[in-house]
């Protein structure tokens, strides 16, 4: 029912109504989490169904908040794929948690824009501080700390972090000439055939051209071959090209391959190549010292990123991006118009994060990260990460014990790549049947040309019983198909 606009002196929500409706929204979210396992994990709606249920035009008259919230249940919920369901095993995690949601809510409440230190000192200083905490917590090199030559910044996503790394590497090798005149040199970059698609996108956007991205072969663990990398760099140098960047991955999206940084690093040093390490999906595991051998050689990195919005229980979006030399990044991205000049910036004593990323404006993302780190504590985070890895290793053992299935590669952490013995079509059918059942959601990849199922065990609330049920359902559907 529409309210009478003529009688109103303001259309804003008063603080008292905000309090009341805010409680209703929090109640709704808490109830959603309580009943989340009752929904089909993958939304069953058909293309266009959600739009067809919405009014053709925006409402001319104000609507009651109760009606708007009611439509979440009626119109939106059917079109939600439940990433926060403990039966979500698809793609990679995109974890939420209570403390992160509340931290994000406070960020919305402040509604600040932290582009400069001066536009909210706490927004900048908390971010710098929390990112320094993570240098210790993840066993990252000291040069990434703000008190050293480098520092960390929160980016929206790993894709943007990868792009910033490519731009910085381009500017370092061209002595900031590309920013002035466009890129005149014949630059070449290197990555593996398992790297995330955002690497190629970054290379395109930076004007390098995807033909100048060398896609290097991988070994049987899906890690880049350092000898093939070195040979490609030498070949390009002989041909008069200018190699400038290696994008390595610790935890590839498709296969969880771990590029050997300790062997790639010396190649980069020898040829003066920027080494960027993309740990978007698996970096969180490095909170646990026992997994850090997987990032051996990280001290060679010029830049690094990981996504707390994937596996570290921090609501999307939140990527932590580190550089070893902040001067290069800042010189690459800084343009200072008159209207942003201020005393604090000119003093040289503060960080202005607008110079550390693509966009000007920025939200107070550090709040949710701070809440997560304090609410769980590093030990609490380690507890859940270890549990996910244990469950994945157990799942892999069940796959190996069942003669109908093949474990495609031993999982280094929490992503299990496996397939039902038989054709690609059979595996596609198995995946479709499972996903259509609504009981769980998993996705696929292609490894060595074959269709492979991926079981990513990392959702915030996934427990032993969910993984057991998933395996039982996989076996049941498989026995119907073979
Ligand atoms: N890099 C890796 C290794 C990933 O697994 C992903 C996720 O798909 C990305 C980058 C892109 O993540 P984002 O959505 O944060 O850009």
* pLDDT band per the 50, 70, 90 thresholds, residue 49: very high
* pLDDT(153) > 90: yes
Alpha carbon of 305 to ligand 1 centroid (Å): 10
* pLDDT(3) > 70: no
Contact (Cβ atoms closer than 8 angstroms) between residue 103 and residue 371: yes
- pLDDT digit string, tens, across residues 417-436: 999 999 999 999 999 999 99
* pLDDT band per the 50, 70, 90 thresholds, residue 85: very high
The helix-helix angle for 197-205 and 158-173 (nearest 10°) equals: 50
Mean pLDDT, residues 197-204 taken together = 98
pLDDT mean across residues, the chain: 97
Fold (CATH) for 101-371: 3.40.640
What b/e readout covers 222-253, taking b as 16+ CB neighbours within 10 angstroms?
A: bbbbbebbbebbeebeeeebebbbbbbbbbbb
Fold (CATH) for 5-82: dopa decarboxylase, N-terminal domain (1.20.1340)
Mean pLDDT, residues 459-477 taken together = 98
Mean pLDDT, residues 385-412 taken together = 98
Alpha carbon of 278 to ligand 1 centroid (Å): 8
Q: Which atom of ligand 1 is nearest to the CA of 160?
A: 16
Alpha carbon of 52 to ligand 1 centroid (Å): 32
Within 6 A (CB) of ligand 1 lie 92, 157-159, 196, 198, 249, 252-253, 278, 280-281, 307, 319
Pocket probe for ligand 1: among 83, 191, 281, 303, the residue whose CB has the most ligand atoms within 8 Å is 281
Mean pLDDT, residues 51-56 taken together = 97
Pocket probe for ligand 1: among 198, 257, 303, 308, the residue whose CB has the most ligand atoms within 8 Å is 198
pLDDT number for residue 108: 98
Q: Which atom of ligand 1 is nearest to the CA of 281?
A: 5
Pocket probe for ligand 1: among 155, 203, 280, the residue whose CB has the most ligand atoms within 8 Å is 280
* pLDDT band per the 50, 70, 90 thresholds, residue 60: very high
Contacts of 190 (CB under 8 A, 6+ apart): 213, 214, 216, 229, 232, 233, 243, 245, 246, 247, 273
pLDDT number for residue 482: 87
Fold (CATH) for 383-481: 3.90.1150
* pLDDT(233) > 60: yes
Pocket probe for ligand 1: among 158, 305, 306, 311, the residue whose CB has the most ligand atoms within 8 Å is 158
- pLDDT digit string, tens, across residues 438-456: 999 999 999 999 999 999 9
Q: Which atom of ligand 1 is nearest to the CA of 162?
A: 10
* pLDDT(196) > 70: yes
* pLDDT band per the 50, 70, 90 thresholds, residue 6: low
- Give the span between the Cα atoms of 417 and 427, in whole angstroms: 12
Give, using CA atoms, the residue closest to atom 6 of ligand 1. 280
Q: Which atom of ligand 1 is nearest to the CA of 319?
A: 15
Using a pLDDT cut of 90, give the percent of the chain over it. Answer: 98
Mean pLDDT, residues 371-385 taken together = 98
Alpha carbon of 481 to ligand 1 centroid (Å): 33
pLDDT number for residue 1: 46
- Give the span between the Cα atoms of 155 and 127, in whole angstroms: 11
Alpha carbon of 371 to ligand 1 centroid (Å): 23
* pLDDT(285) > 80: yes
Q: Which atom of ligand 1 is nearest to the CA of 279?
A: 3
- Give the span between the Cα atoms of 481 and 306, in whole angstroms: 39
- Give the span between the Cα atoms of 190 and 208, in whole angstroms: 12
Contact (Cβ atoms closer than 8 angstroms) between residue 460 and residue 85: no
pLDDT number for residue 448: 95
Helix (H, G, I), strand (E, B), or coil: what is residue 98?
helix
Mean pLDDT, residues 70-80 taken together = 97
Alpha carbon of 252 to ligand 1 centroid (Å): 9
* pLDDT(468) > 70: yes
Alpha carbon of 62 to ligand 1 centroid (Å): 40
- Give the span between the Cα atoms of 304 and 40, in whole angstroms: 37
- pLDDT digit string, tens, across residues 154-181: 999 999 999 999 999 999 999 999 999 9
Pocket probe for ligand 1: among 196, 308, 309, the residue whose CB has the most ligand atoms within 8 Å is 196
- Give the span between the Cα atoms of 283 and 285, in whole angstroms: 5
* pLDDT(298) > 60: yes
**How far apart are the two ends of the chain, measured CA to CA in Å?**
55
Q: Where are the domains of the chain?
A: 5-82, 101-371, 383-481
Report the predicted TM-score, pTM, of the whole model to 2 decimal places.
0.96
Alpha carbon of 161 to ligand 1 centroid (Å): 10
């Amino acid at each position: 029912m529409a309210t009478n606009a003529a009688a109103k002196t303001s259309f804003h929500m008063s603080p008292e109504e905000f309090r009341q409706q805010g409680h209703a929204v929090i109640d709704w979210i808490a109830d959603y989490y309580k009943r989340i396992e009752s929904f089909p994990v993958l939304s069953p709606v058909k293309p266009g169904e959600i739009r067809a249920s919405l009014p053709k035009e925006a409402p001319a008259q104000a609507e009651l908040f109760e009606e708007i919230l009611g439509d979440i249940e009626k119109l939106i919920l059917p079109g939600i794929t439940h990433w926060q369901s403990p039966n979500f095993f698809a793609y990679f995690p995109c974890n939420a948690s209570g403390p992160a949601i509340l931290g994000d809510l406070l960020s919305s409440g402040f509604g600040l824009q932290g582009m400069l230190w001066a536009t909210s000192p706490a927004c900048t200083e908390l971010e710098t501080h929390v990112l320094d905490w993570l240098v210790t917590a993840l066993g990252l090199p000291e040069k990434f700390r703000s008190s050293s030559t480098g520092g960390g910044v929160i980016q929206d996503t790993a894709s943007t972090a990868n792009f910033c790394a490519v731009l910085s590497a381009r500017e370092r090798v061209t002595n900031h000439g590309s920013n002035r005149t466009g890129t005149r040199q014949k630059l070449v970059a290197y990555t593996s055939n398992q790297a995330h698609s955002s690497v190629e996108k970054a290379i395109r956007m930076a004007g390098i051209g995807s033909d100048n991205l060398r896609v290097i072969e991988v070994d049987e663990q899906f890690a880049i071959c350092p000898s093939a990398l070195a040979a490609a760099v030498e070949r390009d140098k002989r041909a008069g090209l200018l190699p400038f960047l290696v994008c390595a991955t610790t935890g590839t999206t498709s296969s969880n391959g771990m590029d050997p940084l300790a062997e790639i690093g010396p190649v980069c040093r020898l040829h003066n190549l920027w080494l960027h390490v993309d740990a978007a999906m698996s970096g969180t595991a490095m909170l646990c010292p026992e997994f850090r051998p997987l990032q051996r050689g990280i001290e060679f990195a010029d830049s690094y990123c990981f996504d707390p919005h994937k596996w570290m229980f921090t609501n999307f979006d939140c990527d932590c991006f580190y550089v070893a030399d902040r001067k290069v990044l800042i010189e690459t991205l800084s343009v200072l118009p008159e209207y942003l000049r201020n005393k604090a910036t000119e003093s040289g004593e503060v960080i202005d994060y607008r110079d550390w990323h693509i966009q000007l404006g920025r939200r107070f993302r550090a709040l949710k990260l701070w809440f997560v780190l304090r609410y769980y504590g590093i030990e609490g985070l380690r507890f859940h990460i270890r549990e996910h890895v244990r469950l994945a290793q157990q799942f892999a053992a069940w796959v190996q014990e069942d003669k109908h299935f093949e474990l495609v590669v031993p999982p280094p952490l929490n992503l299990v790549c496996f397939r039902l013995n038989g054709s690609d079509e059979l595996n596609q059918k198995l995946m479709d049947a499972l996903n259509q059942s609504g009981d769980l959601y998993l996705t696929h990849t292609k490894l060595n040309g074959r269709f492979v199922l991926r079981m990513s065990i990392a959702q915030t609330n996934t427990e032993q019983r969910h993984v057991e049920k998933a395996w039982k359902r996989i076996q049941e559907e498989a026995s119907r198909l073979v």
